[in-house]
């Protein structure tokens, strides 16, 4: 375990997927890499490259380190490990709704677990990740890949993952301003109307059914939401116009990615046109953005190499 180095890769994720608030997530082909060495001597070195490098703590506050310590504590091995060398290479935009914090948590858990001989199963990693993150909708797809549907019952997380029976593509419009999850949650009401709850239940069920059965025509009505997007709209100028532009350009539907401000469109074709339309719609509201053309990651967090 000590003085061995492992490298892991974790996908970015989009949570909620419209009506699946805090329950449905999807893994995307944009990745963060983590290289970890556990040492017997004292010392902490955290190197960060890429997205968020200037804003991510490189000390004991680092969330990757927190995840690593969680694994060591659960395995009763924390007394053996005195030092850490952590190298993060980030491609997932920070505070944009693409699961950057979930990727960091999962990377730390996956890497430390591998150095311990994979003592814990992916289901156990999911529980630990959820305990750190607070909810499973981002960490689940980061671990398992594909679309994931998660529930929490008396603190215990259950999840299954699926790959849709259609060649679904993801187009993400990334506006050039961050949005904290805390702020995005603060605008949500504590209670919702019965009709809004029914609206979301029906569409979340329709979304999962359409993906499972490979029926893209049903997706045109499956991404609508009444529980969180209407309240967060004021935080993201032009959100509805961007959705409409994506659909006019050929997307099957569009939604807020996680807590935002990224907006994600789901399509079978015309990814470039969809992305351009979304960026132009943002620009009409004086918001600069760029588009990412992504696919679904089917594997989740994985080990790249040992040495």
> What tens digit of pLDDT does each residue of 29-77 get?
999 999 999 999 999 999 999 998 989 999 999 999 999 999 999 999 9
Which of 131-145, 151-165, 173-187, 204-218 bottoms out in mean pLDDT, i.e. has the lowest?
173-187
Q: What average pLDDT is seen over the chain?
A: 95
Quick one: CATH architecture of 4-163?
Answer: 2-Layer Sandwich (3.30)
pTM greater than 0.85: yes
pLDDT exceeds 80 at position 181: yes
Contacts with 265 (C-beta within 8 Å, 6 or more apart), sequence order: 170, 171, 172, 173, 243, 246, 247, 251, 252, 253, 254, 274, 275, 278
Q: Annotated binding site, which residues?
A: 93-103
Residues 82-107 have pLDDT tens digits of 999 999 999 999 889 999 999 999 99
- Find out whether 30 and 292 touch, Cβ atoms under 8 Å: yes
Are the C-beta atoms of 163 and 146 separated by less than 8 Å? yes
> In the 3-class helix/strand/coil scheme, how is 48-102 assigned residue by residue?
EEECCCCCCCCCCCCHHHHHHHHHHHHCCCCCCCCEEEEEEEECCCCCCCCCHHH
Tell me: the pLDDT tens digits for 131-148? Answer: 999 999 999 999 999 999
pLDDT above 90 covers a percentage of the chain that reads 93
- Contact assessment for residue 98 and residue 136, using Cβ atoms and an 8 Å cutoff: no
- Going by the annotation, the residues of the binding site for ATP are 93-103
Which residue in 18, 22, 92, 26 sits closest to 297, CA to CA? 26
CATH class of the 169-295 domain in this structure: alpha beta
The string of pLDDT tens digits covering residues 261-297 is: 999 999 999 999 999 999 999 999 999 999 999 999 9
CA quadruple 187, 261, 225, 20: dihedral, nearest 10: -100
Cβ neighbours for 276, distance < 8 A, ≥ 6 positions apart: 249, 291
Give yes or no for a contact between 247 and 258, defined as CB atoms under 8 angstroms apart.
no
Domain boundaries, the chain: 4-163, 169-295
The strand pairing partners of 9, in sequence order, are 33, 302
Contact criterion met (CB below 8 Å) for 161 and 142:
no
- pLDDT at residue number 2: 83
Q: Residue 269 is encoded by which pair of tokens?
A: 């074709």
Tell me: the pLDDT tens digits for 222-243? 999 999 999 999 999 999 999 9
Q: Would you say residue 306 has pLDDT above 70?
A: no
């Amino acid at each position: 375990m000590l003085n061995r180095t492992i490298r892991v890769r974790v996908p970015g994720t989009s949570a909620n997927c419209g009506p699946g608030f805090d329950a449905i997530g999807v893994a995307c082909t944009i990745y963060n890499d983590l290289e970890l060495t556990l040492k017997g001597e004292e010392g902490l070195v955290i190197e960060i490259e890429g997205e968020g490098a200037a804003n991510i703590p490189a000390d004991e506050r680092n969330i990757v380190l927190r995840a690593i310590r969680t694994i060591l504590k659960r395995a009763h091995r924390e007394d053996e490990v005195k030092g850490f060398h952590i190298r993060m290479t980030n491609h997932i935009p920070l505070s944009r709704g693409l699961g950057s914090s979930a990727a960091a948590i999962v990377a730390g858990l996956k890497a430390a677990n591998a150095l311990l001989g994979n003592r814990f199963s992916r289901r156990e990693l999911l529980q630990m990740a959820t305990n750190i993150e607070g909810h499973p909708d981002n960490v689940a797809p980061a671990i398992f890949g594909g679309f994931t549907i998660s529930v929490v019952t008396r603190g215990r997380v259950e999840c299954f993952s699926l790959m849709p029976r259609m060649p679904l593509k993801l187009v993400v419009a990334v506006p050039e301003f961050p949005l904290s999850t805390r702020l995005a949650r603060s605008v949500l009401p504590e209670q919702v109307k019965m009709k809004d709850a029914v609206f979301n239940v029906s569409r979340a069920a329709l979304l999962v059914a359409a993906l499972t059965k490979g029926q893209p025509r049903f997706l045109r009505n499956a991404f609508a939401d009444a529980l969180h997007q209407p309240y967060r709209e004021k935080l993201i100028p032009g959100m509805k116009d961007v959705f409409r532009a994506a659909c006019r350009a050929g997307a099957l539907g569009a939604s807020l990615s996680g807590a935002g401000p990224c907006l994600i469109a789901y399509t079978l074709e015309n990814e470039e046109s969809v992305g351009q339309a979304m960026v132009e719609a943002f620009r009409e509201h004086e918001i600069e953005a760029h588009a990412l053309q992504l696919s679904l990651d089917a594997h989740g967090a994985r080990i790249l190499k040992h040495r």
